[in-house]
Structure 1
């Protein structure tokens, strides 16, 4: 779906749409942690009462960071489309504000895209920590390092050429699943990378999440419970 191989050091525009100021510092820490050099962060703040100056203050020493505030009636899908329209680079990554992205996460995703020539890269197999029961899950363990119909929305890495043809739907829930479905219908290839270097967090109060789902449902299907004292030791892998 694209004409040429991607440069190893292609720039990545990281888009985070957020309405939760309590995760502001985690958002910036995830970006700062990335060892991938050629990157920028675009924050779309869609909460009317959020103090924009707090974001500017926290980001003042973080290079290549831009922050925009939009009306909170805009859907998550609309915020992502707006963020992508502001991107300077040929690759667009979606980061969530409340998950953990290890230092080599972005490098691994770009390398997977280069290796497979896929149009979209992400993680279907992934670790998730349930804070209520203090349980570490490995979800979709059979969907690792393979082409897949969809990947986790928080792990999307997308070629800009894809977003020129397919946009996120105007909705707050299921926008990433619908986006992946529309991309496949257009013939774009989606690749699921390794399980490593990303950790999804599920807090006790599920209503605080964009995706409201019970812990019981999260344990169903292709899921393994991982016994771990050091959670990040299971999640993080160094690239060679």
Structure 2
């Protein structure tokens, strides 16, 4: 019984487990992690006020739903539950980082997030209706990054901040009102942890971040899909790989390409 329960939990959170494993493996396999007594890479990197770069990310997202009080009334006696499974997506974006002092940065990371969000409507007769949406969000996370003291070519960090997002227009959603309708914006609280790994020409950072939805994204246009729900929020766990350089490293890399 206990073993089957563990397997069930791993099946539910399989995407999150994969992302955490990717984060651990990426840090453990990096040359900079193993380099303890080697050359100090980018020794003046943190003296520069501005850093720029880009990021790539994989994430899993799911709705967190809250039922209406009417859900326990006879009007919903054929609907057993509404279950939000986790679905994979990916992100791409840019990094603008300002160095405040030795251990604190503020960063803005304009990002395009490609999502899949689903609700499974499970009925008492065994029927399941899957309502899958694939919104694209333009996000603008504003984050504070608190860093440990640099140890040779690596340093740990934690970060947190707010993440406002606007949904890109979707022609499919406008075509039919007989679908789950959500608002065109979102706001989340982002917290994460990562490691800066200083390479000879750039800084590479694996990072894992959790986004906690702060607002109800359920559109106020009742239909069959929204009828049993009081609210919906979006929660995401993401694994990022970031690449950064300062003005001097960017100029040096440009000269090398010539």
TM over 0.5: no
Higher share of residues assigned strand: 2
- TM-score, structure 1 as length reference: 0.23
Larger Rg: 2
